Structure 1
């Protein structure tokens, strides 16, 4: 029964009271597991209390604002707990699936337990702290920077909070241990597996917290997917008071087991039960999944599952979600794995930290192979405490996830040489490298000891020589490579060369491409895609190159695209500040063109999909005097060819190249009905097109236009329902700029524009490009009443920020701030006098200047930019006809 109480001491918050009769919540005989997600009061240190439910993070909003940084400190959660008197004599625990990142649990003001690490489960015994009347649970969570707790730095946000489910666990005094690094207390292995015969070993860890010796029976039942018992084992043992006992039982001959695979993820279950030997009363019971499979990685031939070659193609995943931070409800967690399965993927790299238990449960059920890793990212601290915490995290990860058949790899360290310390002291840096190698070897040894049945992996960025020299390619069983040729450095064609180099120089070392990808802001499209323009089109070409290279090389075990979905990275700026846009899905899990591309590559059924899911409202300039605008349209398919129809008329058959067919489509103004056909397969889309006149004197009526200066990309502002076009030089009778050149910043990797965060706007791409030294912008519109908007931002200068370590050829030239003062006149009438963007508004601030114009006598609109000091700039321009 849930009630609410008022807190004393100046607090009006409501705490939930949990009250229950012991036997009414029984899920498994002998134990009760009850959610405690509701009715918490939360406050930051010295902050105001609010009511929250779990999962909860205090960083869901401040990681998205324009202020640098986010709250990293103490958060306090409190909740009342009322237990029935019949609970006395039981063992009572709190189970936390994730608290970031330092946690202390207090019961009635007394410390009951502590935990370090954001990403693994931990259990706290609270029996001796309870008064069984009005008990108070307090969780003190802290996500402060602590040099002894990994991760130290990373390209993701270190959210704080009680962000995964919290449960109350009640057991009998004799129970499966809750004191084994968060494990279930039962470990299942399959020493022998073949299509004809399998064996099973079950190791149970049992605690007796009663005051007397107990005689118990341990029963293990193997049941199939239909719930039918296949085999069972029983053992009678005595367990002394206070003893922790290990019981090992073997199923030696399971004949003709059904094998687990991505195509047929058949799951058995092992139900393990403790009973009183005399009364036969069940004292505790748990159930674990079991999948019969065997696998190997071969340096020459790739990956094999159940003796069959299987090319691994999958994704990595971060756990946060749009608007929620990392406090994601169960249904959305599971949905991610379902989306991966629908994509045709067969592997999930759970990166860069263990994630919600639901993820691996879904992988087991859906047939997704998985790797899991601990959050040693970019750098380490050379301290005993850091080493201890790293080893503890690895232990917890392995023990908690040991029984999942989907897991084939345990990993540790990600790009650990990306940000090497002591760059100016080479002898000291060598000592640092030695410490990294020593820690890697300790993690490797620990992993092989805890679980000899799975592979180990250490993940490196593309600095082959560095990792080889330091020795990190020699330690793990598999090497993972995060490769971004054509994005952070180089060109896409370098990717295949790297794969061949590994195979040549490390011929006996299996490897996986653990990351690859290119940013794809779903709002940005381009017909001239270039590196770092953030267009979906560039990302599509990038993924085609990488998929082809991996698929045609049998020695490449496989690859995982970075990332399943866009995710939060507070330190990033770019076109969508604080978001890494490399996902195949948006952060709200809407598919991008790249997701459809993977379906075309991986689907085992005929597949046909008109892409551009976020681009169903387009705009473009008419082709000369025609009433159409010709633009490319792509279809993803696994068929040889397809035929496209526009408004019922065939545009011809196109052969697929790398699973993409492309047509030049003459769009008309208004709704365009698109249909693609290949055999018996079809797909349809309606594209609403806003046709702009080639010349304003054409028959096409002019309504409004939005133009990005210094840009070759289209931008979709969904919030304001505005479509932005790339600019053009002035054409008589039309529109365009006169004078100047497109802004190119001090960063050599970006071909045009800036990747700075533009403040006071959500439409950063509108302001990240500009025409520098512009003399004039002309629009030869007919007479009428118009609204004109000019957009400015000073892109040079302001606070100097550390460049992202991931941009490997991020060769910044020092920005030279120049004074920029200019006048703006419209049709020879002064509009903006002595405009000084930096002084008047600040650096990287969105500036919008609007006016209304009455155009007469065929004069059109001429916006002049007259320099006083420095070069005038214009970032974007809008024109709307009123009448």
Structure 2
């Protein structure tokens, strides 16, 4: 029922938002051209074809928005991603329905510096890749429409050109030292908006309720857009509940329209509460009536009470709630930052289905689509500005941070999902400037913290990993990476208790570790024997490096899905025994690209996600489900592990991740008994069996029960008992073809022809002919350079209805080919 409610709420939210935008806003998705370089000047974007030397005219390509010009090069193993200027252009038919109305371009996000032109007139600029902004093009359009060029050259359309630039700039946030790409392009939706000459710029609706839910308060104020200087108007407001009933309404005449205006203050007895299980939202409908015409709109609000208890847990609506969280980067295979609404919706729903009730948006303001989904699905949010690493710049740098904080708070003020505004991330990380002054960083952190509280007193402030600023913000998250960058995962609880004692309010965001999808291990914890335990579990300079320094799993571990499943399993079972804990957030939900990790198994990828960059689930996804979800589920570890290995007659562990009370295991049709789930019986909450595999093919099946409901899962695999030696040769074969796309797989063998199931050779795929490798995806089977997983690697090929030869090379092994 809870999931059904979530889907219904999501549908209503999306329907209403589309209805609203259909009245005043048009997404400009199509009919764009793109140029990945700079121009000599704006005239080169709009001059007629044939003017000048045609061979000198840059070649534009057709694209649709959203579009990120780092869609592939961000994870190209052989190049650094492009950081520089690029241009977009289109022609618009302007048909504003309002007499004397305003025509506005509304950017939901473009990176990182943007200039906007109507014909040759610059109409707006913006610095910052993540906050929303608008450009009023009314006057420039009117002026252009009076020219002969408007009708003769552009046939009644208005040329719009947009220059975006993600060039490196030390006086801009985020720092290029950050562990994520600073992307370029119009990578969020761009809207053409028509409004009357008096319209709503911002509508601020503050919904509050006491912890017992007895009395709700709503205060509404507005900021109007009034370039015509209109002196008076009337506002009509309605508050509508989830059933469509009008709870209250008011009408007010307005005089002074130049400043923020208080519109409405009312009390509601026993409002329906917004929660993670039942995310009830009210609708605030408004209409501004003036001599310019009527401007209508709607905002969603939710009544909920939040409290981070000092030296204690987190309470939602007066009851303790453990924040079960993850993180989100705006990044996806094949498109980078330019995720469509459909992709975003799928991602957030996958998080909810995993059991998430909290997301930290790392490390910047994200799309309004994300926040709307979190509101509708009942997922609480920490959203932050991109003051990330590098130190502290000058006044230009600071002004951008102030502006982006103000924009983030004002643009997302009404979302009930948001509980924390983040002031920064890893601000203890120097490098961009000769000076690294902790006191100056503290001073600016305090300024931002005060600004956040001035803009919004109802929410908490937080930072992650900057100990010398931990006392400034309301909530602090230290660095605890037990079992990855430092220590063993068994150090997690003690390390958390130590850090908890140092601060007023503790929340642990960022924990976990990398896993190379499709790589599995029979002895994943082997490297822990080298690790010093019992000390601090914080990450330090150089810990992400694969070379040198102290022993650590991030360097010395096998990067298998098996190890990360164990690490997550331990953390989750410990979190159930920490009554003082407000919550945690695993880093991150999905693998994402980064310029600082060229040597990872998938080059330029941070591989800590529980799903791959294309939404393919890793085994870890089901570990979370087994602890965090109520809908009965059962998953045998190893669905992507085709060959296990060991001695003949040796019993091997099989783990089942399930939230059911009982489970029975079967090997090749024979029952090996039932077990009851106990979250504190590590690993797999007691649902583990040591089974005597047969040499060759085996089938394992589980039947899990939760009340009257039965869940089954089954895997098949080969058990190899022969012992291999070092890699000696490779074989490359086509293993699948769907329509015009073929999948090829390389396997590594020793000199006797035995599969080398622990081989991690760096594989390089190549192709000649009509086809094209589907690479630069940032996935285990979508990169032309990739470390082998259990002695194999795969890639897909777009055949283009022709013939191709695919090659595979690896250092020390003979290159092999196959023809498609």
Tell me the TM-score range normalised by the shorter chain. 0.7 to 0.9
Q: Which residue of 2 aligns with 1:82?
A: 93
Cα distance in 1 between the residues matched to 2:182 and 2:701: 44
Q: Which residue of 2 aligns with 1:545?
A: 570
**Conserved? CA contact 2:332–2:614, under 8 Å:** yes
**Conserved? CA contact 2:475–2:505, under 8 Å:** yes
Q: Secondary structure at the match of 1:198?
A: strand
Q: Which residue of 2 aligns with 1:218?
A: 235
How far residue 84 of structure 1 moved from its aligned partner, in angstroms, is 3.5
**Conserved? CA contact 1:607–1:639, under 8 Å:** yes
Cα distance in 1 between the residues matched to 2:108 and 2:694: 53
Cα distance in 2 between the residues matched to 1:367 and 1:287: 20
Q: Which residue of 2 aligns with 1:456?
A: 461
Cα distance in 2 between the residues matched to 1:397 and 1:790: 48
Q: Secondary structure at the match of 1:188?
A: strand
User: Cα deviation per residue 1:425-472 (whole Å; 9 max; x = unaligned)?
Assistant: 9xx54xx21221122111101101100110000111xxxxxx44x3x0
Q: Which residue of 2 aligns with 1:135?
A: 158
How far residue 667 of structure 1 moved from its aligned partner, in angstroms, is 4.7
Q: Which residue of 2 aligns with 1:181?
A: none
Are 2:227 and 1:209 equivalent residues in the alignment? yes
How far residue 292 of structure 1 moved from its aligned partner, in angstroms, is 0.5
Q: Secondary structure at the match of 1:645?
A: strand
Q: Which residue of 2 aligns with 1:524?
A: 519
**Conserved? CA contact 1:33–1:168, under 8 Å:** yes
User: Cα deviation per residue 1:609-654 (whole Å; 9 max; x = unaligned)?
Assistant: 2233433x33546x54x7xx86432210234542101232102224
Cα distance in 1 between the residues matched to 2:36 and 2:498: 51
User: Cα deviation per residue 1:671-703 (whole Å; 9 max; x = unaligned)?
Assistant: 6252333354544445343454649xxxxxxxx
Equivalent runs, 1:715-754 vs 2, <5 Å: 719-721=743-745
1:571/1:366 CA distance change after superposition, 3 Å: same
Q: Which residue of 2 aligns with 1:92?
A: 103
Q: Which residue of 2 aligns with 1:648?
A: 669
1:62 aligned to which of 73, 81, 85: 73
Deviates more, 1:477-486 or 1:156-165: 477-486
1:345 aligned to which of 337, 356, 359: 356
User: Cα deviation per residue 1:329-369 (whole Å; 9 max; x = unaligned)?
Assistant: 10111222111111111101111111111111001001111
Q: Which residue of 1 aligns with 2:509?
A: 514
2:217 aligned to which of 199, 211, 231: 199
**Conserved? CA contact 2:96–2:194, under 8 Å:** no
Q: Which residue of 1 aligns with 2:592?
A: 567
How far residue 228 of structure 1 moved from its aligned partner, in angstroms, is 1.3
1:592/1:667 CA distance change after superposition, 3 Å: farther
Equivalent runs, 1:53-452 vs 2, <5 Å: 53-84=64-95, 89-131=100-142, 132=145, 133-152=156-175, 153-177=177-201, 185-193=202-210, 194-210=212-228, 213=231, 215-238=232-255, 243-276=257-290, 283-419=294-430, 429=436, 432-452=437-457
**Conserved? CA contact 2:222–2:262, under 8 Å:** yes
Cα distance in 2 between the residues matched to 1:29 and 1:282: 18
Cα distance in 1 between the residues matched to 2:320 and 2:447: 32
Cα distance in 2 between the residues matched to 1:543 and 1:190: 37
Cα distance in 1 between the residues matched to 2:341 and 2:479: 29
User: Cα deviation per residue 1:280-336 (whole Å; 9 max; x = unaligned)?
Assistant: x96111111110011110133210011101111110111111111111110111222
Q: Secondary structure at the match of 2:562?
A: helix
How far residue 85 of structure 1 moved from its aligned partner, in angstroms, is 7.4
Cα distance in 1 between the residues matched to 2:759 and 2:714: 32
1:282/1:720 CA distance change after superposition, 3 Å: same
How far residue 669 of structure 1 moved from its aligned partner, in angstroms, is 3.4
1:212/1:117 CA distance change after superposition, 3 Å: closer
Q: Which residue of 2 aligns with 1:858?
A: none
Higher percent of residues as strand:
1
Deviates more, 1:589-598 or 1:108-117: 589-598
Higher relative contact order (CA 8 A, sep 6+): 2
Cα distance in 1 between the residues matched to 2:165 and 2:309: 43
How far residue 87 of structure 1 moved from its aligned partner, in angstroms, is 5.6
User: Cα deviation per residue 1:752-774 (whole Å; 9 max; x = unaligned)?
Assistant: 9999897978463349999xxxx
> What residue ranges of structure 2 are gaps of 5+ in the alignment?
1-16, 39-57, 146-155, 528-552, 729-734, 737-741, 767-782, 793-806
Q: Which residue of 2 aligns with 1:826?
A: none
Q: Secondary structure at the match of 2:337?
A: coil
**Conserved? CA contact 2:361–2:381, under 8 Å:** yes
Q: Which residue of 2 aligns with 1:848?
A: 814
Cα distance in 2 between the residues matched to 1:603 and 1:203: 39
Cα distance in 2 between the residues matched to 1:372 and 1:323: 25
Higher percent of residues as helix:
2
1:371/1:401 CA distance change after superposition, 3 Å: same
Equivalent runs, 1:725-804 vs 2, <5 Å: 762=784, 764-766=786-788, 793=811
Equivalent runs, 1:517-666 vs 2, <5 Å: 517-529=512-524, 530=527, 531=553, 532-572=557-597, 573-615=599-641, 617-620=642-645, 623-624=647-648, 631-656=652-677, 657-658=681-682, 659-660=684-685, 661-665=687-691, 666=693
2:495 aligned to which of 484, 495, 498: 498
Under a length normalisation based on structure 1, what TM-score does the superposition of the two structures give? 0.73
How far residue 381 of structure 1 moved from its aligned partner, in angstroms, is 3.7
1:619/1:502 CA distance change after superposition, 3 Å: closer
Q: Which residue of 2 aligns with 1:18?
A: none
**Conserved? CA contact 2:764–2:808, under 8 Å:** no
Q: Secondary structure at the match of 2:581?
A: coil
1:608/1:753 CA distance change after superposition, 3 Å: closer
**Conserved? CA contact 1:31–1:172, under 8 Å:** no
Q: Secondary structure at the match of 1:231?
A: strand
**Conserved? CA contact 1:261–1:293, under 8 Å:** yes
Q: Secondary structure at the match of 1:524?
A: coil
Q: How many residues align?
A: 691
How far residue 154 of structure 1 moved from its aligned partner, in angstroms, is 1.0
1:757/1:790 CA distance change after superposition, 3 Å: closer
1:111/1:541 CA distance change after superposition, 3 Å: same
User: Cα deviation per residue 1:397-418 (whole Å; 9 max; x = unaligned)?
Assistant: 1111000000010002111113
> What residue ranges of structure 1 are gaps of 5+ in the alignment?
1-24, 178-184, 461-466, 696-704, 710-715, 743-751, 771-788, 794-836, 838-846, 852-883
Cα distance in 1 between the residues matched to 2:246 and 2:375: 20
Q: Secondary structure at the match of 1:520?
A: coil
Cα distance in 2 between the residues matched to 1:521 and 1:662: 23
**Conserved? CA contact 1:233–1:251, under 8 Å:** no
**Conserved? CA contact 1:525–1:536, under 8 Å:** yes
Q: Secondary structure at the match of 1:559?
A: strand
Under a length normalisation based on structure 2, what TM-score does the superposition of the two structures give? 0.78
How far residue 272 of structure 1 moved from its aligned partner, in angstroms, is 1.6
Cα distance in 1 between the residues matched to 2:74 and 2:725: 30
Are 2:29 and 1:37 equivalent residues in the alignment? yes
**Conserved? CA contact 2:115–2:162, under 8 Å:** yes
User: Cα deviation per residue 1:2-27 (whole Å; 9 max; x = unaligned)?
Assistant: xxxxxxxxxxxxxxxxxxxxxxx995
Cα distance in 2 between the residues matched to 1:520 and 1:250: 52
